Amino acid sequence: MGPGPSDVPDRVLGALARPTIGHLDPLFVGLMDDIKTLLQYAFQTTNSLTVPVSAPGSAGMEACFVNLLSPGDTVIVCRNGVFGGRMQENVERCGATAIMVEDEWGEPVSAAKVAAAFAAHPEATTLAFVHAETSTGVRSDTAALCALARDHGALSIVDTVTSLGGIELQVDAWGADAVYSGTQKCLSCVPGLSPVTFSPAAVARINSRTQKVQSWFLDMQLVMGYWGGESKRAYHHTAPINTLYALHESLLMLREEGLEASHARHHRNHLALVAGLEAMGLEMAVAASHRLPQLNLVRIPPGIDDAGVRQTLLTEFNLEIGAGLGALAGKTWRIGLMGHASTATNVTLCLSALGVALARQGLAVSTERALAAANAVLAS
Ligand SMILES: *Cc1c(COP(=O)(O)O)cnc(C)c1O
Q: How far is the CA of 377 from the centre of ligand 1 (A)?
A: 30
Does 6 sit in the ligand 1 pocket, CB within 6 Å? no
Does 56 sit in the ligand 1 pocket, CB within 6 Å? yes
Atom from ligand 1 closest to the CA of residue 130: 13
Where residue 330 falls (left for φ over 0; alpha for ψ -120 to 50; beta otherwise) is left
The CA–CA distances, whole Å, from 41 to 3, 31, 259 equal 24, 15, 9
Confidence of residue 87 (pLDDT cuts 50, 70, 90): very high
Atom from ligand 1 closest to the CA of residue 191: 7
Candidates 3.40.50.1370, 3.30.70.920, 3.30.1600.10, 3.90.1150.10; CATH matching 259-379: 3.90.1150.10
pLDDT of residue 231: 64
Atom from ligand 1 closest to the CA of residue 183: 7
Question: What residue spans in the chain does CATH classification 3.90.1150.10 cover?
Answer: 259-379
pTM of whole model > 0.85?
A: yes
Question: What residue spans in the chain does CATH classification 3.40.640.10 cover?
Answer: 10-256
User: Percent of the chain at pLDDT above 70?
Assistant: 99
Q: Return all residues near 323 (Cβ < 8 A) that are at least 6 apart.
A: 306, 307, 310, 329, 330, 333, 334
Mark the binding-site residues for substrate, compressed into ranges.
Answer: 334
Confidence of residue 2 (pLDDT cuts 50, 70, 90): very high
Q: Return all residues near 274 (Cβ < 8 A) that are at least 6 apart.
A: 284, 291, 296
Mutate to test the pocket of ligand 1, among 6, 90, 162 (most ligand atoms within 8 A of CB): 162
- Condensed to tens digits (0 to 9), the pLDDT of residues 160-170 reads 999 999 999 99
Does 4 sit in the ligand 1 pocket, CB within 6 Å? yes
- Condensed to tens digits (0 to 9), the pLDDT of residues 179-209 reads 999 999 999 999 999 999 999 999 999 999 9
How high does pLDDT run on average in the chain? 97
- Condensed to tens digits (0 to 9), the pLDDT of residues 213-263 reads 999 999 999 999 899 866 678 899 999 999 999 999 999 999 999 999 999
- Condensed to tens digits (0 to 9), the pLDDT of residues 46-78 reads 999 999 999 999 999 999 999 999 999 999 999
Average pLDDT over residues 311-327: 96
> Three-state SS for 131?
coil
Average pLDDT over residues 266-277: 98
- Condensed to tens digits (0 to 9), the pLDDT of residues 324-351 reads 998 899 999 999 999 999 999 999 999 9
Q: Residues, the chain, total?
A: 380
Domain 10-256 belongs to what topology? Aspartate Aminotransferase; domain 2 (3.40.640)
> Three-state SS for 288?
helix
Does 179 sit in the ligand 1 pocket, CB within 6 Å? no
Q: How far is the CA of 129 from the centre of ligand 1 (A)?
A: 13
Does 5 sit in the ligand 1 pocket, CB within 6 Å? no
Where residue 7 falls (left for φ over 0; alpha for ψ -120 to 50; beta otherwise) is beta
8 A C-beta contact, residue 50 and residue 263: no
Does 62 sit in the ligand 1 pocket, CB within 6 Å? no
Does 182 sit in the ligand 1 pocket, CB within 6 Å? yes
Nearest Cα residue to 3 out of 137, 130, 105: 137
Nearest Cα residue to 44 out of 155, 169, 132, 146: 169
Q: How far is the CA of 182 from the centre of ligand 1 (A)?
A: 7
